[in-house]
Structure 1
């Protein structure tokens, strides 16, 4: 079962369970999936990779929104955003810990032969592909800078 079908089934389950947060979140995710499926050139298909990218983007936006709400003293809105982020994260692959990320990046740096900050682009190209979905781009970038700096 692909992610699109799984989300559709889980919407039904959330309705039955009367789980408002999960229902609202999954309906929003499905809306983005449908927009991607009907986009020009998509041929009414949505791969799991594309679906994961959409969900990762929604998680990042949710976390950013929650941070803004926190800064503005709106803990109630931040809490609501983070609750939705938690629902979406359940569908994403497990994120690497800081230690695991560092180990993987050291392997990539050794493989690419990078020695200084000038080689960051080379490392980031490989790391972004290999670690897609396993770590945020910001975290990867910061750790690469630290390791090459």
Structure 2
């Protein structure tokens, strides 16, 4: 089942069960996917493209969550926390620290990178491998650790 089909199915369930918060989040994610489709000039997004949109939506909410927490807005932070949890259910299983480190080391070896100056080359080779499975910040930190 594609990501869009899962979203549609869950949207119907949320409507039937009158889960307004879940319904709102699912609609926002679907709208973001639809907007991306318009930008690309297509009706349907591939699962990979849909995953990219989903990851972007998740990152935006995580950033906002940090801002609300630091500003002391617990009410808004709690709402975002539930949105983040819902969106994460649609994301692929995240890589463990060991799995991610193995991918990083393997890619550094493939790219024959030895210094921080080659970090961009390594990052651009790693990110497609871990798309949706690891946060870019985690990847960046590991690459930096192994290239220094």
Structure 1, residues 70-112: CA drift from partner, whole Å, max 9, x if none?
0010111111111101111101111112222112111111222
Quote the offset at 1:42 in angstroms. Answer: 2.1
Runs (4 or more) in structure 1 with deviation over 3 Å come to none
Quote the offset at 1:37 in angstroms. Answer: 2.4
> C-alpha root-mean-square deviation of aligned residues, in Å?
1.3
Match of 1:140 in 2: 139
TM-score normalized by the length of structure 2: 0.93
In structure 1, runs of 5+ residues without a counterpart are: none
Match of 1:38 in 2: 38
TM-score normalized by the length of structure 1: 0.92
What is the distance in 2 between the residues matched to 1:109 and 1:37? 34
Match of 1:16 in 2: 16
Quote the offset at 1:122 in angstroms. Answer: 1.9
Match of 1:109 in 2: 108
Quote the offset at 1:7 in angstroms. Answer: 0.8
In structure 2, runs of 5+ residues without a counterpart are: none
What is the distance in 2 between the residues matched to 1:27 and 1:64? 20
1:35-74 maps to which residues of 2 (within 5 A)? 35-39=35-39, 41-74=40-73
What is the distance in 2 between the residues matched to 1:75 and 1:148? 39
Aligned residues: 148
What is the distance in 2 between the residues matched to 1:101 and 1:21? 33
What is the distance in 2 between the residues matched to 1:17 and 1:85? 20
Structure 1, residues 39-61: CA drift from partner, whole Å, max 9, x if none?
3x423121111111111001000
What is the distance in 1 between the residues matched to 2:136 and 2:95? 12
Quote the offset at 1:125 in angstroms. Answer: 1.5
Quote the offset at 1:14 in angstroms. Answer: 0.8
Quote the offset at 1:34 in angstroms. Answer: 1.8
